[in-house]
Amino acid sequence: MKKQLSLLTFILMYTTSFAQVGINTSNPHTSSALDVQSDTKGLIVPRLTSTAVTSLSSSASEGLIVFDKDQKKFLGWDGTKWQNLGFEGGGSGSSLLTGTIFTQSFETGDSVNYTTAGFAPSSFNFTSGSTVTGDAPSSSSLFSDGTRGFGYSNNNSSGTNSYIEFNTVDASTYTNNITFSFDIAAFSIGSTSNGVENNDVVTIEVSTDGGANYNTKLTLTGGNSSTATNTRWAFSGSGIGTNSYSSSGITVASSSTATGSAITLTGTQAITKLSVTGIPNSSQLKVRIGTRNNAATELWVVDNVKLQAL
Ligand SMILES: [Ca+2]
Ligand SMILES: [Ca+2]
Ligand SMILES: [Ca+2]
């Protein structure tokens, strides 16, 4: 060990100029911080089990590269997740892509990849800042990432949804295991006594034929499994609502057993993440988020929308 350290020290001292390091070269390329030269040998990056790769996620730095020896894949950490490296060819079989297909955070610089449709699309508006005294919950962000979310508020008694419809994507080059997800919160605005109940909904609807036919795979309702009405919750909640595409549509609601009206949900009772997993890699994949509420003081806010192949 001591000998190895001495050798490394020698190499570093011998070849370091302008903080560059060369191995088998005294003249590392000007574009490189580390230049490993050989005509006959390769470079081995750390080889980890899949379990070890997962463990590393919480401390990974953007740009980190490892080899997953269980999956036989080179992986790179992009700042938020592992990306499969070296399989960008697309097509069929084992070369199908993983990674992000699209995102939408409703920020001013985001490319707009959606339209609004259904009942009164003008009821969607960007939200920013925080709720104030007189709202419920108060002092809570009206977005979950960046500085803006997308809110829906309408005295909609039509019984039909309004929609955020994302553009059709050709997902055929991606793995056949796609997840659609977003963050959701519910507020009472300009009133501390309102909130959503079980006729106020947010849905995930998936089409594999470019929007001709949709399947509703997940429905979130206000209220809870008991009799509470006028429930509301901030993005700081930790509840999850998820369903698999291969399953029939399900409805999720808070597990709170509170009864009565005007209840602020927190923790796992506040469902702030919705997703549908296992979506097929259709060449005409189209996803929409349905929303409905029936009072001008009820507000759903959507943010951090992602379509990802796993
Ligand atoms: Ca945002
Ligand atoms: Ca209400
Ligand atoms: Ca309502």
Ligand 2: centre distance to CA 165 (Å) = 25
9-56 pLDDT, tens digit per residue, is 555 545 444 588 999 999 898 888 898 998 888 999 999 988 898 889
Token pair listed for 293 = 């509420």
- pLDDT, mean of residues 278-306: 97
C-alpha distances in angstroms, 23 versus 2, 15, 40, 41? 19, 8, 14, 12
Please state the domain extents for the chain: 1-42, 44-86, 99-309
Length of the chain: 310
Ranked by mean pLDDT, the top range of 66-80, 89-103, 170-184 is 170-184
pLDDT of amino acid 5: 53
Which residue bears the tokens 């939200």? 127
List the single range of 12-26, 242-256, 280-294 with lowest mean pLDDT.
12-26
Question: Residue 119 is encoded by which pair of tokens?
Answer: 């009942």
Distance between Cα 185 and ligand 1 center (Å): 13
Predicted confidence at residue 83, as pLDDT, reads 82
Question: Has residue 189 got a pLDDT over 90?
Answer: yes
Instruction: Say which ligand is closest to the CA of 146.
Output: 1
SS3 of the chain: helix, strand, coil, percent, to 5: 10, 45, 45
DSSP state of 40: S
Whole-structure pTM value: 0.72
pLDDT of residue 220: 98
Per-residue pLDDT for 227 more than 90? no
Tokens 């930790």 sit on residue:
238
Q: Which band of pLDDT confidence, cut at 50, 70 and 90, is reported for residue 96? A: confident
Q: What is the pLDDT of residue 192?
A: 97
Residues lining ion ligand 2 (Cβ < 5 A) are: 194, 230
How large is the average pLDDT for residues 257-275?
96
Instruction: Classify domain 99-309 at the CATH class level.
Output: mainly beta
Q: How far is the CA of 197 from the centre of ligand 3 (A)?
A: 5
Averaged pLDDT for residues 222-233? 92
